[in-house]
Structure 1
């Protein structure tokens, strides 16, 4: 199954934007992330609607942070991306007639709901600035070509 990497992409781009400051175009950020600028714009659109980034069209336009990274949590970014499915595990049949399958669904459903709630609580407790601080503790420089943190 293909994994949804939009949360990772969004965090990566926000960290670079936070370090570089200023306004950056999709044509600059896309290649930095190893992705097509159009695909990056789709990811950034949800962040814009959530008030995490700002965009300006035209000459001198591009993407900029609308808020400090200390005020943005991983949970907010997850929500801004449309709450992608957290786990690929699921029921074989949603409304089974078989009593055994119903019991399996209840057990799996409860366990998955608990795990998802725990994960989302944790994501809501981590600020993007916490990740930036971790990168800095390792001595890396965000956004600098050739550095370990770049890309």
Structure 2
């Protein structure tokens, strides 16, 4: 089963936008996600509707953050993407008459609801500012450990 990486992809793009010097084109952001610009624009629609990003057309246009990183949680981004399910367990039957299947469905359903509630609470406690700070700490450590590689890493974060 293919995993849904939309949240991870969009968080990656948002941090690139935060590090950028001005608007980022759909093409550049799609390249960072290794996807098509149409897919990127589709994902960004929910973020624009939530007020997290804005876009402008024409020369010099592109996507920009329209909200401080401190105000955007990972849960906010997840919800702006349409709140896709984190856990996808299928049931043998959705509305079983079998009492065993009813017991199995109830138990699995409760476990999934509990797991998703815990995950949403954790995502609600992490802001994009915290991710940005983590990135900068990692960048500083990387520069200290690999002084010659710092320039290549900066190019990667700009053109990723």
TM-score by length of 1: 0.91
CA RMSD after TM alignment: 1.8
Quote the residue 2:155 is aligned against: 145
Which of the pair is proportionally richer in helix? 2
After the TM superposition, which parts of structure 1 deviate over 4 Å for at least 4 consecutive aligned residues? none
Q: What is the deviation of 1:26?
A: 0.4
Distance 2:156 2:11 in 1: 20
TM-score where L is the length of structure 2: 0.86
SS of alignment partner, residue 138 of structure 1: helix
Q: Please list, as runs of the form range in 1=range in 2, the aligned pairs for 1:103-122 lying within 5 A after superposition.
A: 103-122=103-122
Aligned positions of 1:77-92 closer than 5 A = 77-92=77-92
CA contact (8 A) 1:15 1:132 kept: yes
Deviation at 1:87, TM superposition (A): 0.6
Q: In the aligned structure 2, how far is the partner of 1:144 from the partner of 1:34?
A: 18
Q: Compared with structure 1, are the counterparts of its residues 150 and 118 closer, same or farther at alpha carbon in structure 2 (3 Å cutoff)?
A: farther
The number of residue pairs the alignment matches comes to: 149
Q: Structure 1: where are the runs of 5+ without partners?
A: none
The 5 Å alignment of 1:1-151 reads 1-139=1-139, 144-146=154-156, 151=160
